[in-house]
């Protein structure tokens, strides 16, 4: 059995926080040292790492707190952060180790690699890319963090920056599609956990790569794996590609 480590949970009463709690409570190598939510002041002194599924504001505040005190390490799963908030997380990572991801699923992270490879091989002049994501009615940000990760992978495969090739939403009289653009569509309905599809379409054929989440616990298990991996790491901003060993040196 691995050495016991002490974990905290930020956003503990939320849907993902409860899922993380269930996974941690079932493990013999973890002690949950703190469970807290927005507006509460946790005692982080006993935590080796904190898993955060809260809100953008709370995630930034937590990262700043951990950076100021030199720890603990962080796993951040909150999505919908602004560029300014992204910058604050990056600044905190100069002092503490942070794993940040829009999706902690093994399958999604494999999908990211497949999308980047396909985009590299399929000429942007001939192949359009559309990313569709579907989530439950309570999700407040769109496109999802995972959809943006997939878009970034597709843009990277084409040696582009997503901000430069992201298409405006299709609504009204938009005119013909501009070559090389990457489009996004979002669905919010019922209790959908998370579905993501990347469509590559030419005049002659289509290629569809997709992933569907069946049980929310898969994200919690991935976040806990990230927590076990990041504790004791040197300061820096990491993602699941690092945790899973997919990142090439």
Q: Helices 106-121 and 145-157 sit at what angle, rounded to 10 degrees?
A: 30
Predicted TM-score (pTM) of this structure: 0.77
Topology of domain 5-104+216-243 in CATH is Rossmann fold (3.40.50)
pLDDT of amino acid 248: 56
Q: Where in the chain is the domain with CATH 3.30.360.10?
A: 106-212
Structure tokens at 33: 């040292």
Q: What is the pLDDT of residue 1?
A: 47
* 194 neighbors 134 (Cβ within 8 angstroms): yes
In degrees rounded to 5, what are phi and psi of residue 157?
A: -60, -25
**pLDDT tens by residue, 58-87:** 999 999 999 999 999 999 999 889 999 999
- The confidence score (pLDDT) of residue 241 equals 87
Contact 109, 218 (CB under 8 A): no
Q: Report the share of the chain in percent with pLDDT over 70.
A: 98
Range 106-212 classified under CATH 3.30.360.10? yes
Catalytic residue among 6, 91, 117, 139: 139
Q: Taking Cα atoms as reference points, which of 124, 132, 120 lies closest to residue 202?
A: 124
User: What's the rounded mean pLDDT across residues 200-204?
Assistant: 97
Is residue 135 flagged as an active site residue?
yes
- Listed in order, the ranges of the chain carrying CATH 3.40.50.720 are 5-104+216-243
Tokens (6 digits) for 5: 């480590």
Catalytic residue of the set 6, 135, 196, 211:
135
- pLDDT, one tens digit per residue, over 149-195 is 999 999 999 999 999 999 998 889 989 999 999 999 999 999 999 99
**In 26-179, where does DSSP find H-type helix?**
56-69, 83-92, 106-121, 145-157, 162-165
Mark 140-167 as b/e (b = at least 16 C-beta within 10 Å).
Answer: eebbbbbbbbbbbbbbbbbebebeebbb
* Annotation marks residue 91 as catalytic: no
């Amino acid at each position: 059995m691995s050495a016991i480590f002490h974990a905290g949970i930020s956003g503990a009463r939320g849907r993902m926080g409860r899922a993380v709690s269930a996974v941690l409570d079932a493990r013999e190598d973890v002690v949950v040292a703190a469970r807290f939510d927005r507006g509460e002041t946790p005692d982080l002194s006993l935590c080796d790492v904190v898993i955060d599924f809260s809100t953008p504001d709370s995630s930034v505040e937590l990262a700043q707190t951990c950076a100021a005190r030199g720890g603990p390490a962080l796993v951040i799963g909150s999505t919908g952060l602004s560029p300014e908030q992204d910058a604050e997380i990056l600044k905190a990572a100069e002092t503490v180790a942070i794993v940040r991801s829009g999706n902690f699923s093994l399958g999604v992270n494999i999908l990211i690699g497949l999308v980047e490879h396909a985009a590299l091989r399929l000429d942007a002049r001939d192949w359009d890319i559309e990313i569709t994501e579907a989530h439950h009615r309570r999700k407040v940000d769109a496109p999802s963090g995972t959809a943006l990760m997939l878009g970034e992978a597709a843009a990277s495969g084409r040696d582009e920056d997503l901000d430069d090739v992201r298409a405006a939403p299709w609504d009204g009289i938009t005119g013909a599609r501009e070559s090389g653009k990457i489009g996004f569509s979002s669905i919010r309905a019922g209790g959908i956990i998370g579905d993501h599809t990347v469509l590559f379409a030419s005049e002659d054929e289509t290629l569809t790569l997709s992933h569907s989440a069946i049980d929310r616990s898969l994200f919690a298990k991935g976040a806990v794996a990230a927590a076990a991996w990041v504790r004791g790491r040197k300061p820096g901003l990491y993602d699941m590609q690092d945790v899973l060993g997919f990142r090439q040196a």
